[in-house]
């Protein structure tokens, strides 16, 4: 791996306990409010996917060439590979209220990662599938907030402690390797932009853009009759690389003609969401009453989108197996005059009402998960002494109990991650009983 003057990972941090200053002690609120300011800067190094000797390349024995044994070059070396570096600047404050029974921690941060280590696909003519390389710079910035508190005095038999965390983030591509294309774009979609009233490249990887953007045809409803469909825009959408002049009829989807030119094609697609969340956090509550304690832990994620590929597979009947979602059974268009938002069920989805990428099959992945509930009971010491034991604590825990989410309405989508859901398994729900004893 190439050594450069940039292989230096410093860090510095500092804090100021303002509440200890004389001018703060002179204030009327000094005994009720504690304030500390913090700042830090640091550089972290990361090797990403780099394994042992990957930068130098590697060979493997046991290959056969021309009927004879051979040594095969298996990993292509990259002498210019550098450390991935993340530079983080953070400003924060710690606030204590009511003699620190309620505490607020607040942070604002900006992280810039340079020389991102990633896999670059290579043409088959090279004899290698890919190579590890450094690829551009990415910015991540946001805020973090934590609120924790104890709501009852220490003398109370009942105690309640809570902690709530919140993080909001946003990413932006700062720099990509020069390739002669505007904003050094790689991939992307040529779409109509209402603000400039022109076609522009969106998505993909491009400087100033974000990663993980999703685009789809906007479904506005379903044509109730053949006459309604005949009056709609001409469908010229590209399906599997072929332009199709579909004749619309009752039961077909009403696609949004985004550019207003009277035809539907790939340029009419719109931004539908992002595979990455913008907000996430957790809620933790701990209750105690005498010998009984209860822990309730939840977490949430907001802002990511999911393509329900499993429901699409059923509803477009791609294998001709006549399996469909309940939504299609109950609400699918069946006869002239039906008013619905679900298209007609057709063998192999010939007009691509579903398979082309419809906004109807993209869901918001927002969820609140009931991640854990633990109930504990400590047997009184007086009881334990009678049976010759020092202590006994019983626990009953349930994990991954429930999702509060709209993401599963079409087909049981697991809301944990954005992007395409092909019917992935959810986290298993389990119950654990335990006992801790001492003699």
Could you give the CA distance from residue 204 to residue 200 in angstroms, rounded to a whole number? Answer: 12
The per-residue pLDDT for range 322-381, each reduced to its tens digit, is: 788 899 999 999 999 999 999 999 988 888 999 889 999 999 999 999 999 999 999 998
Largest Cα separation within the chain, whole Å, is 90
Tell me the HSE value of 141 on the side-chain side, using a 13 A CA sphere.
Answer: 10
The reported pLDDT for the residue numbered 410 is: 47
Could you give the CA distance from residue 177 to residue 193 in angstroms, rounded to a whole number? Answer: 26
Residue 251 CB-density burial (10 A; 0-12 exposed, 13-18 middle, 19+ buried): buried
Q: What percent of the chain is helix, strand and coil (3-state, nearest 5)?
A: 10, 50, 40
Nearest CA among 285, 284, 288 for reference residue 393? 288
CB atoms within 10 A of CB 349: 19
The reported pLDDT for the residue numbered 242 is: 59
The reported pLDDT for the residue numbered 245 is: 66
The reported pLDDT for the residue numbered 241 is: 55
0.75 exceeded by pTM: yes
| Residues of the chain under the 70 pLDDT cut | 1-6, 48-49, 238-245, 319-321, 408-412
The reported pLDDT for the residue numbered 408 is: 59
The per-residue pLDDT for range 368-383, each reduced to its tens digit, is: 999 999 999 999 988 8
């Amino acid at each position: 791996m190439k050594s450069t003057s940039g292989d230096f990972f410093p860090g510095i941090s500092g804090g100021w306990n303002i509440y200890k200053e004389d001018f703060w002690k002179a204030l009327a609120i000094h005994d009720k409010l504690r304030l500390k300011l913090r700042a830090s800067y640091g550089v972290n190094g990361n090797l990403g996917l780099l394994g042992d000797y990957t930068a130098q390349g590697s060979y493997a024995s046991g290959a056969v060439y021309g009927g004879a044994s051979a040594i095969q070059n298996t990993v292509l070396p990259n002498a210019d590979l550098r450390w991935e570096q993340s530079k983080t600047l953070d400003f924060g404050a710690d606030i204590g209220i009511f003699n620190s029974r309620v505490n607020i921690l607040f942070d604002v941060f900006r992280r810039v990662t340079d020389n991102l280590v990633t896999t670059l696909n290579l043409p088959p003519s090279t004899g290698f599938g890919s190579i590890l390389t450094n690829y551009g710079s990415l910015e991540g910035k946001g805020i973090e907030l934590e609120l924790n508190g104890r709501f009852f005095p220490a003398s109370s038999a009942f105690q309640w402690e809570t902690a709530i965390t919140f993080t909001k983030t946003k990413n932006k591509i700062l720099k990509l390797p020069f390739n002669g294309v505007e904003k050094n774009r790689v991939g992307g979609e040529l779409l109509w932009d209402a603000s400039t009233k022109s076609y522009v490249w969106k998505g993909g990887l491009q400087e100033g853009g974000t990663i993980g953007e999703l685009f789809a045809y906007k479904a506005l409803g379903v044509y109730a009759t053949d006459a309604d469909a005949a009056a709609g825009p001409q469908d010229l959408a590209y399906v599997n690389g072929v332009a199709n002049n579909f004749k619309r009829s009752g039961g077909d989807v009403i696609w949004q003609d985004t550019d207003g030119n009277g035809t539907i094609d790939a340029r009419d697609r719109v931004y539908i969401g992002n595979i990455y969340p913008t907000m996430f956090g957790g809620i933790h509550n701990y209750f105690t009453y005498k010998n009984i304690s209860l822990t309730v832990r939840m977490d949430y994620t907001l802002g990511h989108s999911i393509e329900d590929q499993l429901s699409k597979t059923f509803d477009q009947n791609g294998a001709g197996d006549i399996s469909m979602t309940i939504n299609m059974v109950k609400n699918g268009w069946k006869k002239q005059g039906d008013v619905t938002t679900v298209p007609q069920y057709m063998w192999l989805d010939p007009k691509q009402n579903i398979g082309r990428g419809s906004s109807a099959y993209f869901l918001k992945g927002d969820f609140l998960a009931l991640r854990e509930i633990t109930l504990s009971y400590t047997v009184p010491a007086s009881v334990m002494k009678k049976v010759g034991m020092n202590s006994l604590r019983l626990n009953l825990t349930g994990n991954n109990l429930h999702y509060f989410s709209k993401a599963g309405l079409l087909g049981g989508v697991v809301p944990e991650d954005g992007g395409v859901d092909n019917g992935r398994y959810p986290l298993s729900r389990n119950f654990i009983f335990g006992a801790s004893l001492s003699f």
